[in-house]
A = this chain, B = another copy of it.
Amino acid sequence: MDNNLAKKELIKLAKRAYRNGEVPVGAFVVNENDQIIGRGANKTHQTKDGLMHAELIAIRQAEKRLGDWRLKGCTLYVTLEPCLMCLGAIGNSRIDRVVYVLKDPLFGSVASKLSTAQVKKMYPKLKVEKLRGEEEVAELMTSFFKDLRTREKKFRMGANN
C-alpha cells in the first residue's frame, strides 16, 4: 500500500480514538491485494478492557472477515509501535509484516523494549518496518496527553464540571 495513503487512513483511525477520549492509536490490516480487511481504533478506556488495543481490534475484524485466525500474507499498519501483547497477537496470527509510524520507548516491543534482533529470533518470518514522517502522529499524541493533563489539573482544582 502507498505509504501516504496508509498514513492518511491511520490518522483517521487515531483521530476516532481521540474523539472518544482514548489514547489516539489507530491500526488496520490489509490482505495481499492491499484491501483493508480489519480496522481498529484504541478503546481500552471506553470498554474498561485492556485488551482493546487498536491492533487487536483490527486483527479480530480481519479474522472474522476471512473466517480464519491465520492471516498469512497480510500486513498490519499502526500509528504507534506495538506493545508486547500486540506483537504476540501479530505473531500468533501469522501476519507477514508490521508497519508502524511512531516509536514507543515505554511499551514498544518491535524496536524499543524488545530489539529488532530479539523479535527476529522469536518470529523469523515477520517483517518489521517503520514509516518516515511521524510528525502528525506525534502531534496527535502530544496534544492528547496535554489535554489530559489540563483536564486532570482542572479536576484537582475543583473546576471540573
Contact = CB atoms under 8 A, between A and B. Distances in A.
A38 to B, nearest CB: 12
Quick one: copies of this chain in the complex?
Answer: 2
Contacts of A144: none
A60 B51 contact: yes
A83 B92 contact: yes
Band of interface residues on A: 20 to 34
Contact of A83 (B49, B51, B59, B88): B88
B109 A88 contact: yes
A31 B33 CA distance: 47
A4 to B, nearest CB: 30
Interface in A104-154: 109, 113-114, 118, 122
Given A48-B63, A49-B60, A85-B92, 19 more contacts: A44-B69, A48-B64, A48-B68, A48-B69, A49-B63, A50-B63, A50-B69, A50-B89, A50-B93, A51-B51, A51-B56, A51-B59, A51-B92, A83-B92, A84-B91, A85-B91, A88-B88, A88-B109, A118-B118
Interface of A: 44, 48-51, 56, 59-60, 63-64, 67-70, 83-89, 91-93, 109, 113-114, 118, 122
